[in-house]
Structure formats: C-alpha cells, structure tokens
Amino acid sequence: MSYNVTLIPGDGIGPEVTEATKRVLEATGVAFNWEVAYAGAGALNTHGTPLPDYILESIRKNKVALKGPVTTPVGSGFRSVNVALRQRLDLYACVRPCKLYPSVPSLYKDIDIVIIRENTEDLYAGIEFEKGTPEAAKLIKLITETKGDAIRADSGLSLKIISETGSRRIVRFAYEYARAYQRKKVTAIHKANILKFSDGLFLASAREVAQEYPDIEFEDRVVDNMTMQLVKRPQQFDVVVAPNLYGDIVSDLCAGLVGGLGVAPGANIGDDIAVFEPTHGSAPKYAGQNKVNPMAMMLSGVLMLRHLGETKAADRLEKAIARVISEGKNVTYDMKPDAPSDQTVGTSQVADAVIEKLESSK
Ligand code: NAD
C-alpha cells in the first residue's frame, strides 16, 4: 500500500528540511506518492496567488499533507499562507508536542508537554481594519456610540473572535487526545480576568467540556502566570489547551524548554484532513546553506506516520532520531551551541545518520 500525500516544500529553509524528511520517511519502508505543490511568493509569481486552489484540492483529495515553512511578509504584502491554509481547510487543532529527548541541551529534565492550540479564531481570524480607512472610521464611530469609550481616530483595529463552538471543539479535541495517549491532565490557558467575553467564554466552555471527562484532571491558568510556571516547573504540565495567540506564543516557549525550534514538531488537524509541519518558520537567513536542523520536520513526519496508523514505522523513526541526538555526533549547530563548527553537521548529514540508524534497526 502506498499513501498519497501532498508535499509542500515551502521556502527559506523549507525545501532542505523537507527533502531530508522525505528521505527518512521513505527509509522507514512505508511507501508514499508525493504530490508536490508550491505555495508562497513563488506561487504568487506563477499563479497570481500565494495559495493556489490546486493545493487545497490536492490536500482535500489526499486528506494528508506534509508542509515546510512558508515566509509571510511582515506588515504589508500577502497574508499568511499558513494561517489561510488552516482556515480554508478548517484545521482547527494545532498539536505541538514538546518532549525532551535525552542529551538535548536544555536547562530541564523530564518534559513531555503537548500544546493543543486553537487554529482558526482569536486575533488570527484576520478581521482587521487599517488606520485611516473608512471601515476603521465606521467601526470606531460604532464603538464610541455603543460603548461610550473614546478610541483614537488614528487607531488600527484587529478583532479577537472567540466562539463557544470553536472553544468547545478544541477543548473536546484536547480531551480526546489526552484519552487516546493516556494523558492525565488538561490545563486550559486564558486571560479571562481581563477579556471577560472572549477568553471568559473559552474558559466557561472548557469547564463545561471537562465535566464530560471525569477520568482526566482539569485545571486552568491565566496566561501570564502560565508562562512563569512553565519556566519554573514545566514538569507539572501534561496536555495544554489554548486559544490561538496564547497557543502560538506558549508553544514557542515550550520548544525553547526542550532544545529549541529545531526539534519542535507540529500538526494541524481538522475533522478529516491533517497537515503536518514543524513549529519553526522559514528562517530565511539560513536558506540554502545545508545548516539547520531537520529534526522538527522529521518529528512532524513521525506524527504523520502515527496519524496514518503506521505505528511501528513511527516508533522506529522516532527512536532513530533520538539515537542520533543522544550520540551527539551527527547533529546540527543548534544542538551543540558551544561546539566549534567542525563538530556539527549539516541538514542532509543528519538525514544520512537517521537513515543509518533505521537500517541498523531492521
Ligand atoms: P523562524 O522560526 O523562521 O526562525 C527563528 C530562528 O529560529 C532562526 O533564525 C533560527 O535561529 C532558529 N530556527 C528556526 N528553525 C530552525 C531549525 N530548523 N534549525 C535550527 N534553528 C532554527 O522564525 P522567524 O524568523 O520569526 O520567521 C521567518 C519566517 O517564517 C516569517 O516570514 C514567518 O512568518 C514565517 N513562519 C512560517 C511558519 C509556517 O510556515 N508555519 C511558522 C512560523 C513562521
């Protein structure tokens, strides 16, 4: 059997980490038909849009995609392809495991946290009003009239949208995940003390859903306290569920606890479609240098294998990556921050080393 998978190499460091990941996935013995698709600035030149329809059609047909990072212009230019993909395919759950593998340079021990981030709402809904536009003026007038609060005329506005439907389904997803992977606790994060009608709704929905899962502990944390607790004693957390923005920030924080973005995988999951991609971005300054760590993308490949039901291949690949890390010979610069450059290797050499471990575990 061969799996049809849409493969989006992305840009910046994307093509290099994607190629390395494709090689190790194929070395597990699982067969794939890769349907390669190009998104981002390149697609804007060839198709007039950074996210051509054929990509969405390919993913809808195959139900599974493996994706490298895609650059988003800052401040102006096209909107994030990554956000658009999640919204257009309703990939409402972003799963980001943050697990500390032995020998990874870290200040901590025994961390195994899974962040479940809501992926479609919140400040990422994309409902924004630019300073000085008639739409912004209209909204400012409406708010001033209804709430009596003066808003400066030279304001830009971005709306924070949190629905009960969106909150309930992400919390339910977190609980189902916790059950499937024998996790013990779900922590919901929010700022409900200040944002009573958006985060307050998220928290109320989380509390309600939690009652349906009495076998799994529930707790909540205000997001600022959560960041402090994560730095102080991360071992107390298990599954963490968060609205979009806090989930984005906290998952990078957690990536930092377990060795950095080079080892932080991710998955965007909807009811019947899943797109696997690392937490990191396109790191343009390292593009084309065969330098960055492909393990975050490889571990995203491990998540994809598990999603496809290829548990044995997933276990073998995860172990092979963990062995390469613990041997410490064939790892990239980020895994040995104090070592001279001749004691680290490049992206493709990491793939060679992982493949060697896979072959020896046959
Ligand atoms: P980034 O994650 O690309 O890079 C930040 C830093 O993290 C890098 O400079 C590098 O030091 C380190 N890093 C990242 N990946 C690494 C790896 N595999 N190995 C070793 N070190 C690694 O974040 P950024 O610079 O803020 O964003 C660059 C671009 O990527 C932006 O356009 C952003 O919008 C985009 N982005 C895309 C995605 C996505 O495609 N899902 C996610 C995040 C950011």
Residue nearest to atom 10 of ligand 1 (CA): 283
Q: What are the counts of helices (DSSP H) followed by strands (DSSP E) for the chain?
A: 12, 12
With 0-12 / 13-18 / 19 or more C-beta atoms within 10 angstroms meaning exposed / middle / buried, residue 15 is middle
Per-residue model confidence (pLDDT) at position 142:
93
273: closest CA among 4, 2, 1? 4
With a 6 Å cutoff on the Cβ, whether 72 touches ligand 1 is: yes
* pTM assigned to the model: 0.92
| Mean pLDDT along residues 39-60 | 92
Nearest CA to ligand 1 atom 40: 69
The predicted structure's pLDDT at residue 338: 87
Q: Indicate the pLDDT class of residue 342, thresholds 50, 70 and 90.
A: confident
Q: Of 148-157, 167-176, 230-239, 268-277, which range is least confident? A: 148-157
Q: Using CA positions, which residue lies closest to atom 26 of ligand 1?
A: 281
Which range is least confidently modeled, 88-102, 136-150, 236-250? 136-150
Confidence class for position 77, pLDDT limits 50, 70, 90: low
Ligand 1: centre distance to CA 118 (Å): 20
Using CA atoms, how far apart are residues 35 and 2, in angstroms rounded to an integer? 12
| 75 band by pLDDT with thresholds 50, 70 and 90 | low
In this predicted structure, what is the pLDDT of residue 76?
64
Place of tokens 């690392």: 278
Pocket flag, ligand 1, residue 70 (CB < 6 Å): yes
Residues carrying an active site annotation: 124, 191, 224, 248
pLDDT at residue 148 tops 90: no
Please, what is the average pLDDT of the chain?
95
**What tokens does 206 get?**
């989380």
What pLDDT is stored for residue 7 in this prediction?
Answer: 98
The C-alpha atoms of residue 134 and residue 140 are separated, in whole angstroms, by 10
The β-bridge relationship of strands 112-118 and 93-99 is antiparallel
